[in-house]
Amino acid sequence: MKILVTGGAGFIGSNFIRLILGKYPDDEIINLDKLTYAGNLDNLRDVESDERYRFVKGDICDEKIVNEVMPQVDAVVNFAAESHVDRSIGGPADFIQTDVFGTYVLLEAARRHEVGRYLQISTDEVYGSIREGSFTETDRLEPSSPYSASKAGGDMQVMAYHTTYGLPTLITRSSNNFGPYQYPEKIFPLFITNALEGKKLPLYGDGTNVRDWIYVTDNCEGIDLVLHKGQIGEIYNIGGGNERDNRTITGMILEELRKDENMIERVADRLGHDFRYSIDCTKAQQLGWAPSHNFEDALKETVEWYVNNRWWWEKIKSGEFEQYYREHYGK
C-alpha cells in the first residue's frame, strides 16, 4: 500500500510512520507536513533514509500540492491538525483553517483521484465531557473548545463525503496520547521536562479533571487495524482504559523522577475545561484491537525517554527550534 500521511512530522503521525515502515516491508509512505511549530523532522531521523519514505513540505490547505501527491497513493491517513486546546482558546482561526478547510481540501482531492481509503484521525474531545459512563461512536457531538469544535467540523465533512459521494472514509477517535516525541506543551512532556529543568509544574485548578490515557503506539496499532480492516463509513473509538485525574498523573511523574511535590504550582483553570473524557472501545475491540502496554510501565518508559533525549526537547524549549527550521527548511 502507498499511504499519504498528513501531519506525519508531528507526535502521533511520526510514531505511526515508524510503525508502518517497520511492520510492512512493501508499504511506501509520503509524509506531507507544513512543519509548523509542532512539526519536527527530528521525530523521523531514524527513517529519513528509508527508500520507502518520502517527505514533502506542504500545507493540507494548499490545493495545488495536495492534488500533486494524491494521485500517487492508495490511501490517506490525516493526522494534520492544530491540536492544543489552550492555543485554540487564544486564537481559533488557525484551527478552523487547518482542521476544517484543510480536511475539505484532502477529501475533495481524494474524491477526485479515487483514493481507496481515507482515514481521519480525530479525538474523544469531540464528544464533550461526561460525568458517568462512556461515549459510543453514535453519541451526539458536543465539543467545548474551539479545538474540539474544529475537529468535530472535520469529522462531519468526512461523514458527509461518504454519504454524498461514496468516498470510502473511516474515522478514529482516540483518548489522550502520551509517549516519545510529544511536543512539550501537553501535560506529560511539559511536566517531565519542567521537572528535569527544576521548573514548576503548572497544574490547572484542583487537578481533578479526568482523562483516559493511551500509549501512542497502542493508538497507532489501532489506527493501522482500522485502516486495513475497518468497515467503510464507520467510526472507531480507541482508548487506553486508563482514566486518571491530572493530579494523579502529576504525582506519578514526580515520583518517577524522584522530585518533591512542592514543584507543583496551582494555576487558574482553563476556560471551559471539560471535567472527564471517557470512550467505549467495543467496536475497535471487535476488530481485534486491544492496547498492549501497561499504563504504569508505559509512563516509566515515557519518562525515561525524555530523560535520555534531552537533545530533542532542549532546543525546542530554548527557542532554538524555530531558528533551526528557518535555516534548514525555509520559513
Q: In tens digits, what is the pLDDT along the chain, a chain of 331 residues?
A: 999 999 999 999 999 999 999 999 999 999 999 998 888 999 999 999 999 999 999 999 999 999 999 999 999 999 998 766 777 777 788 888 999 999 999 999 999 999 999 999 999 999 999 999 999 999 999 998 888 999 999 999 999 999 999 999 999 999 999 999 999 989 999 999 999 999 999 999 889 899 999 999 999 999 999 999 999 999 999 999 999 999 999 999 999 999 999 999 998 877 767 779 999 999 999 999 999 999 999 999 999 999 999 999 999 988 754 454 445 444 3
Task: Give exposure, 95-114, as e/b (b: 16+ Cβ within 10 Å).
Answer: bbebbbbbbbbbbbbbbeee
Longest pairwise C-alpha distance within the chain: 57
CB-count burial class (<10 Å; 0-12, 13-18, 19+) for 250: buried
187-197 vs 310-317: helix crossing angle, rounded to 10: 90
Among 106, 23, 16, smallest CA distance to 70 is for 106
Q: Which residues contact 304 (CB under 8 A, 6 or more apart)?
A: none
**Quick one: pLDDT at residue 247?**
96
**Quick one: pLDDT at residue 51?**
98
Residue pair 30/72 in contact (Cβ under 8 Å)? The answer is yes
**Quick one: pLDDT at residue 205?**
87
d(CA 187, CA 215): 14
d(CA 96, CA 98): 6
Catalytic residues: 124-125, 147
The CATH topology of domain 2-183+214-248+274-298 is Rossmann fold (3.40.50)
Grid coordinates standing for 151? 475537529
The model carries a pTM of 0.93
**Quick one: pLDDT at residue 328?**
45
Residue pair 224/77 in contact (Cβ under 8 Å)? The answer is no
SS3 label, residue 173: strand
Q: What is the residue type of 35?
A: L
The CA dihedral of 94, 100, 101, 106, to the nearest 10 degrees, is 120
Kindly give the residue spans of alpha helices, DSSP state H, lying in 55-172.
63-69, 85-90, 93-95, 103-112, 146-165
d(CA 78, CA 99): 10
Residue pair 63/38 in contact (Cβ under 8 Å)? The answer is no
Q: What is the dihedral sign for C-alpha 69, 72, 76, 79?
A: negative
SS3 label, residue 310: helix
**Quick one: pLDDT at residue 208?**
87
The CA dihedral of 168, 143, 31, 12, to the nearest 10 degrees, is -110
**Quick one: pLDDT at residue 320?**
53
**Quick one: pLDDT at residue 227?**
98
Domain ranges of the chain: 2-183+214-248+274-298
